[in-house]
């Protein structure tokens, strides 16, 4: 006895609509405005680390939360940052994280991580525009690009 099988083929067309935020991120102030909104959305006493994906014209594509840590640290590895960046085809990125203490001054670990991610970005030909650190509660912020640490 023989059985017949019929193969059905389906085709999908996938396209990306223009995101809800067509702003151009060409200044630290623009990035800090988005950082403020992200920190206000993370209503807890933990460090959060986000990556903002930008296209070749520095326009917002999307953002993703890479890590949620403790009150004083967040574990971030380049593969968790750049995996999604490569999948989405972003040309450049902005890093954002909060300090639950309210004090946005970068720690030595923040500076080490920024150097590590900057080197990885160069290898992948992705531009790292900035790393914004924002103090939860105070909403004061520091741009590592603005203070010459990038």
Looking at the domain that runs over 28-143, which CATH code has it been given?
Answer: 3.40.140.10
Residue written as token pair 């989405």: 88
pLDDT band at residue 14 using 50, 70 and 90 as cut-offs: very low
- pLDDT per residue as tens digits for the range 19-38: 555 678 888 999 999 899 88
3-state secondary structure at position 38: helix
Mean pLDDT of 125-145: 94
For residue 16, pLDDT over 90 is answered with no
For residue 15, pLDDT over 50 is answered with no
Say what the pLDDT of residue 22 is: 67
Say what the pLDDT of residue 9 is: 61
Say what the pLDDT of residue 24 is: 82
Other C-beta atoms closer than 10 Å to the C-beta of 103 total: 14
- pLDDT per residue as tens digits for the range 61-79: 999 999 988 776 778 999 9
Whole-model pTM: value is 0.82
CA distance 64 to 6: 41
CA distance 37 to 16: 23
| Ranges assigned E (strand) in 7-148 | 48-54, 60-68, 92-99, 127-135, 141-143
Q: Are residues 50 and 64 in contact, defined by beta-carbon separation less than 8 angstroms?
A: yes
Say what the pLDDT of residue 48 is: 93
> What are the distances in angstroms from CA 39 to CA 33, 36, 45, 141?
10, 5, 11, 11
């Amino acid at each position: 006895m023989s059985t017949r099988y019929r193969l059905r083929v389906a085709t999908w067309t996938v396209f990306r609509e223009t995101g809800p935020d067509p702003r151009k991120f060409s200044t630290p102030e623009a990035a800090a405005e988005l950082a403020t909104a992200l920190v206000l959305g993370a209503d807890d006493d933990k460090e959060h680390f986000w990556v903002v994906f930008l296209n070749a014209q520095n326009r917002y594509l999307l953002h993703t939360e890479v890590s949620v840590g403790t009150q004083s640290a967040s574990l971030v590895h380049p593969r968790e940052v750049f995996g999604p960046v490569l999948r989405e085809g972003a040309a450049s990125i902005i890093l954002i994280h909060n300090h639950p203490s309210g004090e946005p001054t970068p720690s030595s670990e923040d500076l080490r991580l920024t150097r590590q991610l900057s080197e990885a970005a160069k290898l992948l030909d992705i531009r790292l525009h900035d790393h914004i650190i924002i103090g939860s509660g105070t909403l004061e912020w520091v741009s590592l690009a603005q203070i010459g640490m990038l």
